[in-house]
Structure 1
Amino acid sequence: TYCCINCIHVLPDLKYLEKKYPNELVVIGCHSAKFDNEKETENIRKAILRYEIEHPVVNDSQMRIWRSLGIRSWPSLLVVDAEGNACLLASGEGNREYLDELIGKLIKYHKAKGTLDETPIRFDLERHNAKPKSLRFPGKVLADEASNRLFISDSNHNRIVVTSLDGKLLEVIGAGSIGTKDGKFAEAQFDHPQGMALDGDKLYIADTENHMLRVADLKAKTVTTLAGTGEQARSRIYQGKLNKLALNSPWDLSIVDGWLFIAMAGPHQMWSHKLGSDEIQAYAGSGMEDIQNGAFPLAAFAQPSGIATDGKFLYVCDSEGSAIRKVAIDTEGNGEVTTVVGPYDMPGGAALFEFGDIDGVGKKARLQHPLGVAYQDGALYVADTYNHKIKHVDLKTEKATTWLGDEEGDRLTPNPRLSEPSGLTIANGKLYVADTNNHRILTVDLKTKETKEFTIAGLAPPKNRFAETDTFPNDVPATKASPQTVKAGKAATIKVKLHLPDDYKVNPLFPMSFRLEAKEGQTLIPAEQLTGKQKATGKDKTASLELALTGNTGSTPLQIALTYGYCREGKGGVCKVKTTRWNVPLSVTKDADSSEIVLSVPKE
C-alpha cells in the first residue's frame, strides 16, 4: 500500500536493484489497498509521483492478484525468473542483500542458458507529465506568531520554505537535491523532510527519508545534523548517542519544556531527546504495530505521523490505526497512553482495520489514516487525510465532527475541498493546512471557515533534478535507415510498419510514443518537436507521427525512436514493451514527391 511505512521502506531497495540491473530486471508494482482511499487509481498515480517511483504499478483494487499469488502481508516481493518460474516470495523490509544475491544468480544462469532478454525497456514516467509547482507535495506546516513566521516542509522539493504569516518569502532552506549535506541554507540537502519544531532561532526538522533529525540555525543560516546516521535503523536498539544511533523514519516533532518529542513512524513509537544532551531514546511504545492503551513500555502505536500539544499531553495521529492518541508528558517514564478518537485494545490487531468516516464520540468515531493535528482552546483539529477532511475533536467530550471538506477536490468555495491534507498549524485565528496532493497551503478562518489559498510571491521550484532522465534512448541499438527525402512545407509524416512475432498483437492500451533527436544547429525541424516524447497514432500494425517542419530545405541526420507494447493472448500469454531506434539521413527539398518518412521495425 502507498501509506504503509514498511512498503515505503522497500522503495529504496527496489531503486537500488533497478539501477544495478537496468537491462536484466523489470520491476512491476502491484498496489493492493488497505484503505478505501488507496483503491482509487488517481490517488495511486499521485502516490507514484510523491514517492518518485520509476516502474509500472497495477491497481489491484479488488485484491485479485493478491489472492491468486497467496500474498499474506504488506509488503511482499515475488521474484519471477526469465522462464516465468516463481523463485522467491519474501515478506517485509530489509531483504535487499538477499534479493540482490538471488537476482545475480538468476541472471548468470539464464545468460548461460540463452533465455535472458536484455533488451532495454523504457517507461514513460508520470513525473514527465507533471507541471512544475512552487510547492510539491508539502507535508507539514509550522506557524510561529511571536516571530510572524510560517515554516513549510516542501517535501518533494527537499527543502523548507520560510515565509511571513501573510505570505512574504523570507528564506529557502535547502538546495532542493536529495542528500545529507550540512552547511549553508543554499547548500544543505534533505530527503523528503516532514515535521518541524521551533525553539528560539533553532528549527528542528524531521528529515524523514534520510532517517535523521536536522537543525536549521535561523540566525547563522546553516543546517547541521542533530541525530541519525543517514541509514535506516534495522535493529531494535531504542537508546543511544545522537550521532551513532540509526533512526527509522522520524515523521513529526514537538518541543515541550526543553524536550524534543519525535513521532518515529518506522518502529511505531514515540521518541524523546533532552535538548542539550547527547542522548536519544524511545519514549513510549513497545514497537509492536497496534492500537493498545497502557503504560509507556506496553502501549502500542501504528505509524505515528503527527503531534500537537497543550503542554501537558502529546496528541498523536496514529495513522495506520486511524486513531488519535493521548500521551502523557512524563520524562521519568511513568506515564500512560490512551486513545481519544478511534478504535483501540482490539484482539489480534483488528484495530488496524477499523477505519472509516464516521462522526462520533471516542471509540465510535472513525477516521481514515490521519496525518496532521493542531491544538487550540481545548480542541484538536485533525487532518483526516484519506477522507480529505478536517475534523474537530472536543477533548472534554471526545466528540469528533467534520469541520471542513466533504469529498476530494481542489475548490475553495463553496464548501472547500481538499486532497490528502497532511499538516496543520494555527496562528492569529487561522488554521494553516498543508493540502498535500493539491500542492498548496490553505488558510481557514477558525470562526467563519473562510478558506483561501496561501500565496508566496517569488517562490520558484528548484532546478528539476529529473530533467536529464527524460532523454533520447541512446542505449537502444540503432538501425541505419535508407536515406529519406520529403517535400519542404509545414509538416511531414513518419510512418513505421511494425513486424510482430507470430501470435502477437499491438497492445492498444499501451501509450505508443516517438522520441526524436536531430543535430544541433539544424534548421529543418522546430526545436519543440525534439523535446520529450511525442504521442503516436497506431493503426493496423502501423505507428505514425506528424513531424513539423520549418519550411527550410537542406539535410540533417535524424534519430527516431518508437516505443510500443505488444501482447500474445491465450495460454502462456504475455505482454512486452519494445523500443526501436533508427538513424535516418533526412533531406528536405522543394521538388520532392513525398511527404512521408517510411520505416520498418526489423523482424525478430
Structure 2
Amino acid sequence: MRQPKSIARWFLSLVLTSSLVLSIAAGLVSTQAKAGSDPTGKAAPRTIRIERTAFMEAPPKLSLEGGVDWINSGPIRLEELRGKLVLLDFWTYCCINCHHVLPDLAKLEQKYKDELVVIGVHSPKFDEERQTENIRRKVAEYQIKHPVINDADQVLWNRFGADSWPTMVLIDADGTPIGKVSGEGNYAILDHEIGLRVAKHKAKGDLNTTPFQFSAESDKPDTSPLLYPGKVLADEKSKQLFIADTAHNRIVLTDLDGRKSVVVGSGGIGMVDGDYAKAEFNRPQGLCLVDDTLYVADTENHAIRAIHLKTKQVSTVAGTGQQGHRRSGAGAGKATSLSSPWDLVLIPGTKTLAIAMAGTHQIWRYDIPSDSVTIWAGTGQENIEDGPVSTALFSQPSGLATDGHNLFVADSEVSAIREIVLDKKKPVVHTIVGQGLFVFADVDGKGDVVRLQHCLGVAYGGGKLFIADTYNNKIKVCNPATRTVETLVGNKQPGLTDDPPRFYQPGGLSVAGTNLYVADTNNGLIRVVDLGEKTVRTLEIAGLTPPAPPKRNPTFPRAKEVTLETAQVAPGKDLTFDVTLPSLDPGYKISPDVPMSYLVETPEKIGILATTSTGGRKLDPPAEVFTIKVDLANATKEGDSFTIRLSVKSFVCSKDSSLCTDKNYVWTIPITVVAGASDRVRIGSTDSEKSERATD
C-alpha cells in the first residue's frame, strides 16, 4: 500500500532512491501473477541484479533516532551495529502485505543469524497505530522477535525515503546504505544481496559474527485462556459458540453460556489434519457452520479447513499451504493457493462459501459440492470502487455477513462497509459508508459523513447490521438502507470494563437471538452485548486453559565448556551446587529482565535424577552467584559414582547500550560418593578445572 506523499517526502525519497537503488531485471517486484499463469499462483523465477548509481557525492547521514519508543529492546544506534548487515523493515500492523513478509524476515534472520540484524520500523497509517502499547501487543501476537521502533511521527520513514508498506532498506556492514525494495515477495532478492555482502566482508575480516539476542514480547509467559481471538460464531439453533483462538492457533467449541469447552488443535503452528488433538492451524480467523461442518479461514496457512463435528476430525478443503498471488480464474480446492483468507459466510440459497480474501483484496467463493474455488468480486487492485463485481475494488476485506439478499463486507483498509447485491445475473457492489484508503475517523451520522477506523467485523441480526469499528474500540449499528451509523456500545478509549462498556480493538461479531457476541481481540476475551438493554458482560468459559507449551531442552551454543576434577560428596538423596559464573567482560552485565535457563543431566547413566529435566529450569531473577538443588531418584551410598552435566544460559547486555547476547556455560562434574564428604559442590571461580574449551 502506497502512502500519498508531500513534496518534501517525495524529495527525500528521491534522494535516497536515486543514490542507492535495487535494480531488478524485470522491474520492481509485483506480487500479482498474470492471468493464465501457474494455477497455484506462484510467480515465475526472476533474474535479479543489484546496481549502485551515483546521485550525490555522499549518502545522507543515517540514524535510528527519532522514534518515540522501542519494543523487544532498548534504543540501538547504527554505530553499534558496525560489522553487521542491517535490514530495516518499514511496516504498519494493519497492513496485510506487511504480515506476508514476516516469514521471509524470519527465514533471513535464521539463515544469517550471526551476520544480520533486522529492525522493524513501525510507521503508522491509522491514528491508533501510533500508540506503543497497541504496537507492543501486535508484536507479541505476531511473534516478532527482532527490535521494533515506534516511528509514530514517521521521522525514520521520511529519513530513509519509504513511500509504501512494506519497504525494506538494507545497510552494509560499514554503515552505508545499499538500497531499498518495496512490497512482498522479495526474499530471493534480499537473500542474494545479503549473501554476497556476507561473503565479501568475511573475506575482508571485518564482519562481526557475535549474535545479538533480544528479549521478545512473545517470549513472555502466556496465561490467558484465549489469546487475541479474532472471530466468533454464535449459532442460535444449536446453542453452540465457536471461537477462533487466533494466537493460540486453535478453535474453541463451547455453548452460548460458556458452560463447557472443547478444543480443536494442539496449539502448535502448522497445517496438520487429523483428530482434534493432532490438528494444527496457523492464526485462524473466520468461521462458518454448514450442517455438521465448521469451516475455518486458516489465515496464515492460506487455507480453508473443515472441522467435522460428528467425527471430530479436521481436514483441508482449499489451499495448498502456500500463499498464492493470482487475481483471476478458478481451480480445484486443494490445488489452488489462497492468500490470507480472513472471514467466511454461506451465500444464501447455496452451498457456497464467500471468502474475504484479504491478501488479494477480493471476495472469492468456495463451492462445497464441486470442491472448487472461484475468484468472484474485485480485480485485486487495492482501493474503493463500486460497480459490477468484475471491476469493483476492495481493500483488505476482513469481515462478512448476510441478510439473505446482500453480502456485507467490512473493507478494513478503506474503513468502509461495502455491500454486494446478490443478483444472480448482475451482482453489483455498493459502498454503504467509507471514502478511501486515508479517510478515517470516529464519526456517527448518515452516508458520506460517517467515518470508521479499520473495521474488521460485521454481523447481521434483527434487521440491523452491526460493525466492529476496531480501531475506534467500539461496536456500532448500521441501517444499510438509510446508510446511518451510530455507536451502540464502547468508548473510543481502549479498556476492559462492562459498565461502562469498553473494548480493545474488537475483531469479530456474531448475533444469536438478542445477544451480540464480540471477539474482543486485544483483551483476549469474548464479550456479550444484550441488544435490548445495551448492557455488556464478559463471558467466562468453563475449563478453558492455554495450550501447554512444548517441552524442549534449551540449547547452549558457543558455550564455554569446563570439565572439573572429581568432586567427593556425602551419601544422600540430593546434591547442592553453589555456582559462580565467570567474570564478564568490562562494560557488560547480566540482564535483570530475562530469566536464566539451566539444564541438569547425567549423560552416562539414566535413572539418577528424580525427575526428567526436559525443558530445563529457570532462574528468576537471574544472578551471577546462585545455588541449585538437585533431587536424586534414590539415595546414594558410598562408592557410587556418576557424572553430572550442568548447562547455564545467561542473557548479557552492554551497560552502555541495549545490545545483548547469550553467554553459555557447560560444566561436566564427575561425582564420587564418600562418607563424611560435603553435600555441596562448588562451581565457578573456585572450581578445579581439568580442561576447558569453547563449543560452536
Structure 2 CA distance for aligned equivalents of residues 204 and 151 of structure 1:
11
Specify which of 544, 560, 579 is matched with residue 478 of structure 1: 560
Structure 1 CA distance for aligned equivalents of residues 336 and 177 of structure 2:
38
1:6–1:430: structure 2 CA closer, same or farther, 3 Å change rule?
same
Q: For residue 127 of structure 1, what is the amino acid of its counterpart?
A: S
Structure 1 CA distance for aligned equivalents of residues 484 and 665 of structure 2:
66
1:480–1:147: structure 2 CA closer, same or farther, 3 Å change rule?
same
Q: For residue 95 of structure 1, what is the amino acid of its counterpart?
A: N
Helix, strand or coil at the partner of 1:426: strand
Residue equivalent to 2:104: 13
Residue equivalent to 1:346: none
Residue equivalent to 2:62: none
Residue equivalent to 2:129: 38
Give the Å deviation of 1:577: 2.4
Residue equivalent to 1:576: 659
1:188-232 CA-partner distances (Å, limit 9, x unpaired)? 222111111111112221111111112222222222222111110
Helix, strand or coil at the partner of 2:284: coil
Structure 2 CA distance for aligned equivalents of residues 384 and 187 of structure 1:
35
Give the Å deviation of 1:546: 5.9
1:379-401 CA-partner distances (Å, limit 9, x unpaired)? 21111111111111122332222
1:491–1:383: structure 2 CA closer, same or farther, 3 Å change rule?
farther
Structure 2 CA distance for aligned equivalents of residues 314 and 551 of structure 1:
64
Residue equivalent to 2:54: none
1:596–1:176: structure 2 CA closer, same or farther, 3 Å change rule?
closer
Residue equivalent to 2:364: 271
Structure 2 CA distance for aligned equivalents of residues 457 and 202 of structure 1:
24
Residue equivalent to 2:174: 83
1:169–1:307: structure 2 CA closer, same or farther, 3 Å change rule?
same
Give the Å deviation of 1:564: 2.8
Q: Are positions 1:29 and 2:120 aligned together?
A: yes
Query: 8 Å contact 1:378–1:396 — kept in the other structure?
Result: no
Specify which of 151, 161, 167 is matched with residue 258 of structure 2: 167
Specify which of 210, 214, 236 is matched with residue 123 of structure 1: 214
- For 1:203-602, what aligned pairs fall within 5 Å after superposition? 203-255=294-346, 256-258=348-350, 259-332=352-425, 334-343=426-435, 351-465=436-550, 468=552, 472-478=554-560, 480=562, 497-500=583-586, 511=593, 514-519=596-601, 531-532=617-618, 534-535=620-621, 544=624, 558-566=646-654, 576-583=659-666
Query: 8 Å contact 1:304–1:316 — kept in the other structure?
Result: yes
Helix, strand or coil at the partner of 1:117: coil
- Give 5+ residue unaligned stretches, structure 1: 344-350, 538-543, 569-573
Residue equivalent to 1:176: 267
Structure 2 CA distance for aligned equivalents of residues 518 and 233 of structure 1:
46
Q: For residue 564 of structure 1, what is the amino acid of its counterpart?
A: V
Q: TM-score, normalised by structure 2?
A: 0.74
Structure 2 CA distance for aligned equivalents of residues 551 and 209 of structure 1:
44
1:274–1:584: structure 2 CA closer, same or farther, 3 Å change rule?
closer
Q: Mean alpha-carbon deviation: is it higher for 273-282 or for 240-249?
A: 273-282
1:41-70 CA-partner distances (Å, limit 9, x unpaired)? 111121122112222212111111111111
Q: For residue 37 of structure 1, what is the amino acid of its counterpart?
A: E
Give the Å deviation of 1:142: 0.9
Q: How many residue pairs end up in the alignment?
A: 576
1:286–1:366: structure 2 CA closer, same or farther, 3 Å change rule?
same
1:290–1:509: structure 2 CA closer, same or farther, 3 Å change rule?
farther
Structure 1 CA distance for aligned equivalents of residues 295 and 630 of structure 2:
55
- For 1:138-153, what aligned pairs fall within 5 Å after superposition? 138-153=229-244
Query: 8 Å contact 1:94–1:234 — kept in the other structure?
Result: no
1:297–1:82: structure 2 CA closer, same or farther, 3 Å change rule?
same
Which structure has more relative contact order (CA 8 Å, sep 6+)? It is 2
Helix, strand or coil at the partner of 2:285: coil
Residue equivalent to 2:205: 114
1:513–1:133: structure 2 CA closer, same or farther, 3 Å change rule?
closer
1:455-502 CA-partner distances (Å, limit 9, x unpaired)? 22122322324x53xx6451033164999x9xxxx99895765434xx
Residue equivalent to 2:573: none
Structure 1 CA distance for aligned equivalents of residues 452 and 97 of structure 2:
21
1:518–1:226: structure 2 CA closer, same or farther, 3 Å change rule?
closer
1:323-370 CA-partner distances (Å, limit 9, x unpaired)? 1111111344x2221111221xxxxxxx21111112222221111111
Q: For residue 477 of structure 1, what is the amino acid of its counterpart?
A: A
Query: 8 Å contact 2:598–2:649 — kept in the other structure?
Result: yes
Helix, strand or coil at the partner of 2:98: helix
Q: For residue 531 of structure 1, what is the amino acid of its counterpart?
A: R
Percent of pairs with identical residues: 41
Residue equivalent to 2:85: none
Residue equivalent to 2:191: 100
Q: For residue 293 of structure 1, what is the amino acid of its counterpart?
A: D
Residue equivalent to 2:86: none
1:293-327 CA-partner distances (Å, limit 9, x unpaired)? 22212221110000111011111111111111111
1:417–1:12: structure 2 CA closer, same or farther, 3 Å change rule?
same
1:227-250 CA-partner distances (Å, limit 9, x unpaired)? 111110133344222222211111
Q: For residue 51 of structure 1, what is the amino acid of its counterpart?
A: Y
Q: TM-score, normalised by structure 1?
A: 0.85
Give the Å deviation of 1:266: 0.7
Query: 8 Å contact 1:50–1:137 — kept in the other structure?
Result: yes
RMSD (Å) for aligned C-alpha atoms: 3.7
1:72-126 CA-partner distances (Å, limit 9, x unpaired)? 1100112223222322311000011222222222222222221222223332222
Helix, strand or coil at the partner of 1:118: coil
1:513–1:230: structure 2 CA closer, same or farther, 3 Å change rule?
closer
1:560–1:161: structure 2 CA closer, same or farther, 3 Å change rule?
closer
1:519–1:225: structure 2 CA closer, same or farther, 3 Å change rule?
closer
Structure 1 CA distance for aligned equivalents of residues 250 and 649 of structure 2:
36
Query: 8 Å contact 2:222–2:546 — kept in the other structure?
Result: no
Query: 8 Å contact 1:240–1:281 — kept in the other structure?
Result: yes
1:583–1:242: structure 2 CA closer, same or farther, 3 Å change rule?
closer
Structure 1 CA distance for aligned equivalents of residues 140 and 644 of structure 2:
37
Structure 1 CA distance for aligned equivalents of residues 276 and 647 of structure 2:
42
Helix, strand or coil at the partner of 1:292: coil
Structure 1 CA distance for aligned equivalents of residues 354 and 679 of structure 2:
77
Give the Å deviation of 1:257: 1.4
1:206–1:318: structure 2 CA closer, same or farther, 3 Å change rule?
same
